[in-house]
Amino acid sequence: MSRLCEDIDERVNAFLKRPLEGDWPFVWLNATYIKVRQSGRIVSVAAIVSVGVNDKGVREVLGLCTGISEAETFWSEFLRSLTRRGLRGVKLVISDAHEGLKASISKVLGATWQRCRVHFMRNALAHVGKARQAVVASYIRTAFAEIDEAGARRQWRKVADQLRTKAPKLAGLIDNAEDDVLAHMAWPKELRVKLHSTNPLERLNKEIKRRTNVVGIFPNDAAVIRLVGALMLEQNDEWAVTRRYMTLERIEEVCHPDDINPLPLAAE
């Protein structure tokens, strides 16, 4: 059994430490909370998975680590570990809201942050009663239906103003989240469905939860990396033989914006 674990660890570590070549314009970060035994206590740690799309339009798992997801130092060190392996050319990072993450993205990667639209909606609807949630959700989504970023921002502010009297806390949340939730609107229309949330990782996240729930409580962080890392390696191999996640034409436009006029793209 120990030899088997050593073999798995060797393969997983080689995969997670491999050089990252080329540009990676889009990166997703996802946290799954797992119970681990530490110093005689059972604690909940975050298993952070990073997935990116490279300049060929191919999706790959970039990295994995465990830690306290709310700490800025944790995020900064994780992102720096990716840059040391060659991560570059990042333009947009998509994730749920975590304390310290936004600052780390700007500081380490110099990229824009897209707050997961799905998670934002859940947070927003917590500010209104259940009877009103469907109506409020539909109203907020009118901003996402706009054809360009300028229109989306106008509608977003209109929604906030309409809600200000009856739901001032929700209106304030919408005001503060404008740049983060609407960041994806700056990209070509056909890419937005893949950029507005962490939904592209939903299937992967469910599989992580399914397999870790079988274990229940892990003896240490290394055991988490072993199991989740093996799953990431398996998923990466599957993505390698499927078609491109994004078309080469659109990726070229994203990676080499100086060669095109961005205004028509935003209006498409």
Same domain, 208 and 108: yes
Q: Cβ neighbours of residue 105 under 8 Å, at least 6 residues apart?
A: 75, 79, 93, 111, 112, 113
52 in a domain, yes or no? yes
Domain match, 140 and 99 both: no
pLDDT at 72 over 90: no
Quote the tokens at residue 105: 């993205």
Last residue of a domain, one of 182, 208, 239: 182
The pLDDT of 130-158, averaged and rounded, is 96
Q: Are residues 108 and 126 in the same domain?
A: no
The answer to whether residue 39 is domain-embedded is yes
* Residue 54 and residue 25 share a domain: yes
User: Is residue 264 scored above 50 in pLDDT?
Assistant: no
Same domain, 93 and 209: yes
Is pLDDT at 169 greater than 80 in this prediction?
yes
pLDDT the model gives residue 2: 72
Residue 52 belongs to what domain range?
A: 2-115+197-255
On whether residue 61 sits in a domain, the answer given is yes
Contact 9, 74 (CB under 8 A): no
Has residue 17 been placed in a domain? Answer: yes
Q: CB of 118 within 8 A of CB of 199? A: yes
Q: What are the pLDDT digits (tens) for 77-111?
A: 999 999 999 999 999 999 999 888 988 999 999 99
| Helices 130-141, 117-125: inter-axial angle, 10-degree rounding | 140
Per-residue pLDDT tens for 200-219? 888 898 999 999 999 999 99
Q: Quote the number of domains for the chain.
A: 2
pLDDT mean over 218-241:
94
Q: What is the pLDDT of residues 15-66, one digit of tens each?
A: 999 999 999 999 999 989 999 998 889 999 999 999 999 999 999 999 999 9
Residues 39 and 171 in one domain: no
pLDDT score for 68: 81
In a domain, 267, yes or no: no
Please check whether residues 71 and 122 belong to one and the same domain: no
Q: What is the pLDDT of residue 258?
A: 56
